[in-house]
Chain A
Amino acid sequence: MRALVVDDSRAMRKIIAGALRKLGYETVEAADGAEALTVLAGGPLPDLATVDWNMPVMDGLTFVTQVRANREYRALTLMMVTTEAEHGQIVRALAAGAHEYLIKPFTVDALEDKLALLGLLPEVSQA
């Protein structure tokens, strides 16, 4: 399985991508929503995108909205991974089309639990 990690922090991209690789994912990275859209346009479509909320150039909510507006990307599962922890923000993200929401700081176990709920755990990590 393949994941796109979208976060403006290199440190956080490394943490998230590292956790996903431990779970069996191949990963690609983007530093903001606009760069992530470019990655998606270049294909192939990943199975999962983890998306930070607050980023320069294009924020995560705008990215989610634009992805959901494109039928070519309907197979892409979107998980917000962000410090935005208020209930209202979670509702906004889900309403915009995010499938799941993970609040930073998170553990690898918490990420794995979310992926299991989404049915997106690679077979290697379920063994």
Chain B
Amino acid sequence: MTQELTQAFEPDAVEDEALFQIVDQMWASYFSHVEPLLPSFERHDITGEVMCASVGIAGSRPGLVTVVVEATGARPVSAALLQEDGDLLDEDVYDSLGEIANIVGGNIKALVPDAGALGLPAVATAKPLHGSSGRLAARLDVSWQGHWITFEVWLAGGAPRQDAAPAVSRTAPDETLED
């Protein structure tokens, strides 16, 4: 056992920088063959159709980690993760986005004191509902090949952020994914 055992577990370690580090490491590990992510210094709220993957974190400070991708970017991102050029099945897109949320969520959970189980990923063609997910603890907006991707961490407890948007409602679901 090497570096994993030395990982810090700080009470308030879930912040934008930590989220960026996790996403950046994931991209370097699995997407190094494609263009890098371009982080945005300003909040970018995705409009239009989206795909959203999320995982829940149980425990004394439960939360939700979400990955919202423009619908037009869902297939390219999934194809990049799978390193496949051909047409992907919808289930491959759902699976890939879910795994991205799983990786980010698992590493975020390690920063949350007394965290319980990590849920299985859920993927939908709608923006997430945060009504019972606490406050926005960390957020990262990135673009890749012209597609916007938003990572958010919502945790129970703590003061709300200045840039926290109100809970959003579901958009009209669209079961057909488009390039």
Contacts and interface: CB of A to CB of B under 8 A. Distances in A.
A82 B106 contact: yes
Contacts of B96: 9, 11
B4 A85 contact: yes
Nearest to A94: B1
B92 A11 contact: yes
B30 A105 contact: yes
Interface residues of B, number: 33
Interface stretch (B107-115, B137-145, B151-159): B107-115
Given A12-B99, A54-B102, A86-B9, A101 B4 contact: yes
Contacts of B26: 104-105
B46 interface: no
Contacts of A87: 4-5, 7, 9
Contacts of A56: 120
B102 A103 contact: no
Q: Which 5 A-B pairs have the closest CB atoms?
A: A83-B106, A85-B110, A105-B29, A9-B99, A105-B26
9 contacts: A9-B102, A10-B95, A11-B99, A18-B83, A85-B110, A87-B9, A90-B5, A101-B4, A105-B29
